[in-house]
Chain A
């Protein structure tokens, strides 16, 4: 039996080689289907991973609240320290809130200058936003409460105006304020306002409020960290209620602030990715179905073309199942080739598209193996009927054919 299968395989390969172009065209549906599925799944996974990384850069279980009217062209009033204290004190489930301000400035060091932004934020804000210190240290309580001139800088700023091996302890000038560098933050992928999160100079909130904004109370936006065991929707409702009251918004009037829920962002993005994958998988499924029908069609043609051969085989004593096996093997081998080419194409496409879209390329062996197995199964499913037909031929009729 093993020799039989070996011989059948060889025969199948020979038949495929005999009609190379036809075989290739026949498997095109499978090639495209498999390539599409694998490429999409691979890119989808890359996209998901990318989104998750970006969202985790915003902190998890966090609301980000900033002033904004429904018409973003009309400026909305800023928040102040009292708003933040009120949110912290009055809403159950809120673990902490931290405000931040940001303004454009120029940083100078070593006779070089670099246009960047200076952000005022305390260690609570760093924690909520998952901003880690790569080198040096964070702000101390005294530095924060006194509004001292110390700064923690982003890797981009280091790259632009520092000699890499001497950063911590160096003095630099930010706008008109000279300060000492006490830390460098870890490379980050996202910032609330968009833009490069690594191109920033952090100073204690109070320092920036006094020295750059000129208003010791002003907070441009703030982050609220909440206990994940509480319902985020409830907290959000309470936040809206409290802020409307504090900002004296009449009933019927729109909010002049916006609340961004990081959990919601990641969910939305995941949904988009999921939908995209589903749509493409469906298209690929249709293409595979068409491909399968193509296989069936060409196998039926092959059976008709080779009726005499089947007659000879049956006459010399081939069993029905042996003839069936022969044609089934041919269909499966054909489909496996299609699957294999599809996998290779997908590999190329995924790497190419991932690099173009600046997504990580994640090779998933499961998807590739499953696709290959699926191709083989398609060979069995769509090859069965033609193979069965071949095996049911009457040897006498078959020998007399054409």
Chain B
């Protein structure tokens, strides 16, 4: 059972719009991601990175192909079933932080636990632990407006972590931050990865991608190349047995 990869994409296509206005954003993506990996997705603008992330995050369903997450066929699930999957296994970090305005950091972090039906006491404890992990416990009662961009993103990471997810998805998490703040975030993600959380991250910056163990290159709605077993900085859980690149270079 544990042999099955965490994430398997097979021939994923995604078409937006219909008829003449139809646009195929993904043209048959194949990708396998193992448990515990730190993946950076790179590629030119419009190549389908966010579209892929949305599918991986169970926020969207592919038009065609199969997406297996922990052996579950996600494309067959209903909206609410996908919500339950997100609630249970996934944490999100967005480029724009996406914290609730006028709501304190600790309450923002508590939010996912609310939908898990946890008690108020347990929510508060877990949220404070999570904030502590990202080094923001002293800022627990501050609202997003009172925090810097880097701090907001760390609150967002604390929120993603509070449910103890299997996978943390981050679409350009450092896109709105300066280099110094960005590197802090990358260090944080690296630390989290060491605790066993699988990290999927979209980035435009080579510097950030350096932190990843696997880099997936996208071009024109297809996976162009996968580089595995890159960073040895961490005591790798399992030496990423590189199945080499399992993707085909599609013709544009």
Q: Which residues of A contact B (CB under 8 A)?
A: 1, 3-4, 7, 18, 308-309, 311-322, 395-396, 399
Is A312's CB under 8 angstroms from B100's CB?
yes
Docked Cα-Cα span, A319 to B99, in Å, equals 19
Kindly list chain B residues whose C-beta atoms are within 8 Å of the C-beta of A316: 86-87, 92, 111-112, 115, 159
What are the residues of chain A within 8 A of B79 when measuring CB–CB?
A: 320
Cα separation A396 to B59 with both chains bound (whole Å): 7
Contact for A396 among B60, B99, B102, B120, CB less than 8 A: B60
- Bound together, the chains give a CA A318 to CA B60 distance in angstroms of 15
Query: Is B84 a contact of A399 with CB atoms below 8 Å?
Result: no
Contact pick for A311, options B83, B98, B159, CB 8 Å = B98
B17 within 8 A of A: no
The answer to whether B117 touches A319, judged by C-beta atoms less than 8 angstroms apart, is: no
| CB atoms of B98 and A308 under 8 A apart | yes
Across-interface contacts of A308 in B (CB, < 8 A):
98
Expressed in whole angstroms, the minimum distance between the Cβ of B142 and any Cβ of chain A is 17
Task: Specify which of B86, B88, B117, B119 is in contact with A315 (CB 8 Å cutoff).
Answer: B86
User: Which residues of A are found within 8 Å of B159, using beta-carbon distances?
Assistant: 316
A7 touches B114 (CB 8 A): yes
> Contact between B111 and A313 (Cβ–Cβ < 8 Å)?
yes
Complex: A320 Cα to B84 Cα, angstroms: 11
Would you call B80 and A3 a contact (CB within 8 A)? no
A189 and B116 alpha carbons, distance in the complex (Å): 68
In the bound assembly, the distance between CA atoms of A319 and B83 in angstroms comes to: 6
CB neighbours of B99 from chain A (8 A) = 312
Within B21-61, which residues are at the interface with A (CB < 8 Å)? 54, 57, 59-60
Are A317 and B112 neighbours in the complex by a CB distance under 8 Å? yes
Most buried by B among A4, A312, A316, A320: A316
Query: Which residue from B80, B90, B98, B100 sits with its C-beta under 8 Å from A319?
Result: B80
- Which of A309, A315, A318 is the one whose CB lies under 8 Å from B59? A315
**Nearest B-chain residue to A8, judged by Cβ:** B114
* Chain A interface SS verdict (over half): helix
In the bound complex, CA of A20 to CA of B192 (Å): 43
List of B residues within 8 angstroms of A317 by Cβ: 83-84, 86-88, 90, 112, 115-116
Residue contact B87 to A396, C-beta cutoff 8 Å: no
Contact A318 B98, beta carbon cutoff 8 Å: no
| Residue B94, interface by CB 8 Å | yes
Give every chain B residue within 8 A of A312 (Cβ-Cβ).
98-100, 111
Q: What are 11 sample pairs from A and B whose C-beta atoms fall under 8 A apart?
A: A3-B118, A312-B111, A315-B86, A315-B98, A316-B111, A317-B83, A317-B86, A317-B90, A318-B87, A319-B83, A320-B80
- C-alpha gap A18/B101 in the complex (Å): 12
Contact A3 B111 (CB under 8 A): no
- Residues on A with C-beta less than 8 A from B120 are 3, 7
Proximity bits, B183-220, A CB within 8 Å = 1, else 0: 00000000000000000000000000000000000000
Known A-B contacts A316-B112, A316-B159, A320-B79; A1 and B117 likewise in contact (beta carbons under 8 Å) = yes
In the docked arrangement, what's the CA distance between A312 and B91, Å?
A: 11
Alpha-carbon gap, A95 to B99, bound state (A): 87
> What are the 5 A-B residue pairs with the smallest beta carbon separation, nearest first?
A317-B87, A317-B86, A316-B112, A319-B80, A395-B59
Cα A280 to Cα B63 with chains together (Å): 58
Q: Verify A18–B102 contact, CB threshold 8 A.
A: yes
Residues of A near B94 (CB, < 8 A) are 399
Q: Name the A residues within 8 Å of B119 (CB-CB).
A: 3
Which residues on A sit within 8 Å (CB–CB) of B118?
A: 3
A396–chain B nearest beta-carbon distance, Å: 5
For chain B, residues 53 to 93, give those with C-beta under 8 angstroms from any C-beta of chain A: 54, 57, 59-60, 79-80, 83-84, 86-88, 90, 92
- How many Å from the CB of B162 to the closest CB on chain A? 10
A399 to B92, CA, bound (A): 12
Complex contacts, B86 vs chain A, CB 8 Å:
315-317
Contacts of B111 in A (CB 8 A): 312-313, 316
